[in-house]
A and B are shown apart, each in its own frame.
Chain A
Amino acid sequence: MSVLQVQDLKKTYGKIQALKGVSFEIPKGAVFGILGPNGSGKTTMLSIILDVLNADSGTYSWFGKPASPDLRKHIGSLLETPNFYHYLSAKNNLKITNSISGRGDKAAIDSVLQKVKLYERRNSRFSTYSLGMKQRLAIAAALLGDPQILVLDEPTNGLDPVGIMEIRELIIDLSKKGHTIIMASHLLDEVEKICTHVAILKLGTLVTSGSVEDVLVDEDVVEIGAADIEQLKRALSNYPGITSTTHNAQTMQLHFPKGTASAEEVNRYCFNQGIALQYLAIKKKRLEEKFFELTGN
């Protein structure tokens, strides 16, 4: 079942078309990463599904139902920047989140503040917080009441390396418990480590979306190495089933259509040709590589 269905969303700011008919679905329990360079429309899209921006056209639905304030109450969200009353403490700000959304209670407020390591500073005014602390409070507000769906826009913004690792572990932990997490991020490495699904946006257009596996793997690459790389190149130039080959000083890459490569057969073939392989591996494309390839950066 889809948690969120987005259909042909379009949005313009004056002459700039921020979203040009974006459609995708987010399955229940997924950690869905939304990637894209600056200005690709990530935040615009999240803002529309959270009803702070009006789409020019297109629709979206949560759990197959049209969006409504009541549905939003069950979604923990961090959009763009931490938005809190500067003159109030962390605790009093979370009381407002609780009062509006109905998520959590007094004990839950203390619990989320402990989780994001702000409990000791719970009575300090928001205006006295560092950027990282503000971000932690925004994450605490999103986590309040343990919502089943989280929408996190750049959740690791302003966090130190330890904070980034903690958020990564938190998301993995929530995912294991069955929560659905929708996350926009610039940090491709983070997304690759955490996400089960990705959508890549470029200039308001959806370039690709699907499971991380499907998006990353569009061909099989077998990388091999031998003492005489020239002999290896000659022997494998006519290997059946390959679409292309590439090489560098030490290794050679054989490109196969997706799902057709067999490391065992390549090894046997080389052995029969009198070549002893020193190195053999099936290579997976990295998200970073794929991202640059798709966005043309």
Chain B
Amino acid sequence: MLHLFRTEWLKIKNYPGFWWIMGITVLSYPGINGMFYTIYKQQTANTKSAAQMLKMLIGNPFEFPEVFRTTAFASSMFVIIPSILVIMLITNEYTYKTNRQNVIDGWSRNEFLIAKFLNVVIITMIVIALYLLVTLSIGFSTTGADVKNKFQLANYTALFSLQTFAQLSFAFLLGLLIKRAFIALGVFIFYKIIVENIAAELLNKYVHADTGRFLPTESSDMLTPVPAFLGRLDPKVYDHALGLINQQVFVTIGYLFIFWGLVFWIYKKRDL
């Protein structure tokens, strides 16, 4: 396992494109959460009654423990940025035909994929580290000492990790299938943002109210629901969404097996 990691490190350590996208990833997570937090602070800092009413209404979504859910939700919208990294790492191998050279040089096809699997795991871990950094920084700077159960919603770290890993795995599968970086990324964005949302709506409307949640990325999107203050708009729907999270964990794990099972099966059968 270590030699796979070492070889992957040799591939990326002098790759400027990788470090550029990694830099954007590292900046984007604190950036987007910091932006939301700043907007919230500006809107509620005003002493006018409207601002104070808003504060009373939504509470402080950036205080412990709610901050775990808020930043997980906000961060989940930016999975497209690390997915560029994942897609780039697999499609580059096709572009340069180095995937076949790695096998010629002595890797098995499975070893090649395990090395790529490690890449996806590491990128997920970097995203999680950023999430924790942002969450804890905002949480500790906004939460008073009197707040108990600060880490009551820390389980969102695990849920966000699972969601990120599942969606990056889906991006990897598309990269492996399509082989071309821009097309794969385009398909990923188009599918995730447009196709699946429409498909979920249609399934919910015409098949069964609950079927949309079984779609490949919608299943993991439901692991990080909107922050509680938005849930108050329709408490019944929100409580239902929270109640489904445990089921969605199993659906997402199921999809992970399908994604990686397909990856290994396709690569075994495919000519390189």
Asked if A83 contacts B11 (CB within 8 A), the reply is no
Nearest-neighbour CB distance to chain B for A45, whole angstroms, equals 13
B269 within 8 A of A: yes
Question: Are A83 and B10 also in contact (CB < 8 A) when A69-B107, A73-B105, A73-B106 are?
Answer: no
Tell me if B152 is interfacial: C-beta within 8 Å of chain A.
Answer: no
Cβ contacts under 8 Å, B100 to chain A: 52, 79, 83
* CB <8 Å contact, A92 and B106: no
Docked pose: A86 CA to B14 CA in angstroms: 11
- In the complex, what's the smallest C-beta–C-beta distance from B199 to chain A, in angstroms? 33
Say yes or no: B98 contacts A85, CB within 8 Å: yes
Q: How far is the CA of A96 from the CA of B4 in the complex (A)?
A: 10
Are B11 and A79 closer than 8 Å at their CB atoms? Answer: no
Complex contacts, A92 vs chain B, CB 8 Å: 10, 14
What CA separation (Å) do A11 and B183 show in the bound complex? Answer: 30
Q: Chain B interface mostly helix, strand, loop or mixed?
A: helix
The answer on a CB contact under 8 Å between B271 and A99 is: no
- Count how many chain B residues have C-beta atoms less than 8 Å from C-beta atoms of the other chain: 27
Given the known inter-chain contacts A96-B10, A99-B6, A99-B7, please indicate yes or no for A83 contacting B97, CB distance below 8 A. Answer: yes
Contact of A50 with B by CB under 8 A: yes
- Find the A residue at minimum CB distance from B110: A69
Q: Are A79 and B96 in contact (CB under 8 A)?
A: no
A-B contact pairs, 24 of them (CB 8 A): A51-B104, A51-B109, A52-B100, A52-B104, A52-B272, A53-B271, A54-B271, A69-B106, A72-B103, A72-B105, A77-B105, A83-B98, A83-B100, A83-B101, A85-B15, A87-B14, A88-B11, A95-B10, A99-B3, A99-B7, A99-B10, A100-B102, A101-B105, A101-B106
Residues of chain A having any CB pair with chain B under 8 Å: 47, 50-54, 69-70, 72-73, 77, 79, 81, 83-89, 92, 95-97, 99-102, 141
Residues of B in contact with A (beta carbons under 8 Å apart): 3, 6-7, 10-11, 14-17, 92, 96-98, 100-109, 111, 269, 271-272
